[in-house]
Chain A
Amino acid sequence: MYQYDQYDQAMVDARVAEFADQVKRRLSGDMTEDQFKPLRLMNGLYLQLHAYMLRVAIPYGTLSSKQMHMLAHIARKYDRDYGHFTTRQNLQFNWIKLDDTPEILTDLASVEMHAIQTSGNCIRNISSDQFAGAAADEITDPRPWAELLRQWSSFHPEFSYLPRKFKICVIAAQEDRAAMRLHDIGIQIIEKDGVHGAAVYAGGGMGRTPMIAPLIKEFVPLEDLLSYLEACLRVYNRYGRRDNMYKARIKILIHEIGADSYRAQVEEEFAQVKALGIDPPRAEFDRIAAFFAMPDLDANASDDLDLSHKDFALWVGQNVAKHKAAGHAIVTISLKPIEGIPGDATSAQMDLMADLALQYSHDELRITHAQNVVLPHVRKADLFAVWEKLVAAGLATPNLDLITDMIACPGLDYCSLANARSIPVAQKIADRFADLDRQRDLGELKLKISGCINACGHHHAGHIGILGVDKKGKENYQLSFGGSGAQDVSIANITGPGFDEDGVVDAIERATDKYLAERRDGERFIDTYRRIGMAPFKEAIYG
């Protein structure tokens, strides 16, 4: 894992001091809320429905045991003993006091963490593949690239007042586990003539106008990457729309002028920028990359696994993925117990996961965009012990990628922008489909719920998506099918008129029944949907 040197630490410490001063000025009246708001947002502090909410960055979703313990500590000391892991690989605390924030940020800084640029119209936390460094299908670890971008984008003087938020994702595997093309800039590290470089996609996003990012540049060599991104951002900063907040994302700019025209402008800008010498030397990348070297895995670890315990075998089959090293595996801890709140974890659960990471996973954890937690480097021989401890903590639900492994945003229970609640719908669906055999029969089924059109719950990218809307003061839910955030990326289509809470659960059941009746060998729900189209599903739902 990356470790701060004195420069990184000084930057974060400086930010804490700066924000402490800003909080003081706000509380003393030197600053109005209007002036303070963009500043607190750049430090991840929102005002939500019930209190201030603090969003902590987990850069590219990687954290150490010590860092996870610190999150647990903050939950206990300053919040109400829990936190919410988000699709952005961040953690949100829901009950924060303004005058506690400098102290919280100080605590975070003591373990090389921060809340920098987790909100605001700036370059946000860089997201990545939760299996990075462990995945059998990656060509390299994407995280050194992501860390390079984290440093470049932190306190960027030119790009801190962009037209709108800007999200970058970096992956390096064949399978896209991070919804790369639904980001403002998506980067896939690829290999050309034995050299790694970046395929750059731009203009993806969700929100009210979901778009899939087109390819802008096939191959940007490492030594040009920052110049190239600087050019991408400068074109956006100058020409992105600022007249309408809902049209301010880069996706609208690229859609309006066309990918070719955007590409041409970026090339022109790149020609200027490249001459400035802003790209760090290879040695800096190598310095960063050294931190991400594969931990010292047990070379003699065995691939044998005793699967005679039925529940353990179920969990291994569902929540354990292939590691690139023999005798090892990647464990995904589901934060989606049937009665629970998707993505929420108590401080005790955080502590337990941190302990497991230290004991069994070379001190590393990951957060997934599907709101789960990963232990990336576990010896197969240790899987049983890990599982037993997870069972005891209510963290062993074997439902990864099944219908009850839902993404749900906080919705109207917490969010001031929401139109409808997301969590109760998630709970009702989980309850309806609680039977594990039934879930396994339905197979991979990605269900994603957002409480409003902002799409924080990725509903556009759900095999089944649910969007909460306000229908004359009543919560109402629109259903959509056919989205995907994976390498088969697509945007979902709305089925038809919306439903109330129970109605949407019934409709999903009718749709999954239809799928079971229609599916051919090995087809997932989305494959059947793509083959037969919306009409038969519509017929089944609205009859």
Chain B
Amino acid sequence: MVDQLNHTTDTPIVSMDEFLSESNAIAVRIEPGEDARLLLPHLDRLTLVEVAFPKFRDGRGFSSARILREAGFTGTLRAQGDVLIDQLSHMKRCGFDAFAPDVPLNPDHAATALATWPEYYQTAADKAVPIWKLRHG
């Protein structure tokens, strides 16, 4: 997990427009206003989807991530941009497994942040068993 914290890649990443027009790219970047569902027919060939967070307050990327994971995307899902340490746990739950923050994250702080919650109330895109299931076996 933590090695994915300040993730870099050599794979060229193209925009949604480019990807959807006729590129053979295997990595694509989704801006907050773009519809992640347009990628669903192409998940097989994608190895990396980068979800942009130009401002940490803009939470659309959380939904984009879940939509991709719910549809079965198994490649790398990385959050890029204004990614704050206190958002890591939520991001991970929404399916992100790599981060490319504008300001590099301190691995110790990140490990603490990721370990904030002992359990979770809801089902999300990670493997965590929700509390209601723990209660009822």
Contacts and interface: CB of A to CB of B under 8 A. Distances in A.
Touching chains A and B, CB distance < 8 Å = yes
B119 A278 contact: no
B23 to A, nearest CB: 24
A272 B63 contact: no
Given A22-B86, A35-B84, A7 B119 contact: yes
A151 B131 contact: yes
B45 to A, nearest CB: 22
Contact of B136 (A18, A159, A242, A283): A283
Interface string A134-168: 00000000000000000110111111111100000
A334 to B, nearest CB: 37
B12 interface: no
Contacts of B135: 5, 7, 284, 287
A277 B123 contact: yes
Contacts of B91: 157
A152 B121 contact: yes
B78 interface: no
B62 interface: yes
A207 interface: no
A121 interface: yes
Bin the interface of chain B by size: 35 or more
A161 B122 contact: no
Nearest to B58: A242
Contacts of B134: 7
Interface stretch (B1-9, B14-22, B110-118): B110-118
Nearest to B128: A157
A278 B123 contact: yes
Contact of A159 (B35, B59, B131): B59
State the majority secondary structure of interface residues on A: helix
Nearest to A8: B131
A284 B132 contact: yes
A281 interface: yes
Contacts of B59: 121, 158-163, 237
Contacts of B62: 157-161, 237
Interface string A1-24: 000010100110010011001100
A283 B132 CA distance: 9
A281 to B, nearest CB: 6
Which of B84, B89, B132, B135 has most chain A Cβ within 10 Å? B132
Contacts of A39: 86
Contacts of A163: 59
A157 B116 contact: no
B26 interface: no
A29 to B, nearest CB: 14
Which of B59, B70, B135 has most chain A Cβ within 10 Å? B59
A280 B86 CA distance: 28
Interface string B43-87: 000000000000011111011001100100000000000001011
B60 A151 contact: no
B116 A14 contact: yes
B25 interface: no
B73 to A, nearest CB: 14
A535 interface: no
B118 A10 contact: yes
B101 to A, nearest CB: 12
A297 to B, nearest CB: 29
B42 interface: no
12 contacts: A7-B134, A11-B117, A11-B118, A14-B116, A152-B121, A158-B94, A159-B62, A161-B62, A226-B122, A276-B123, A281-B132, A283-B136
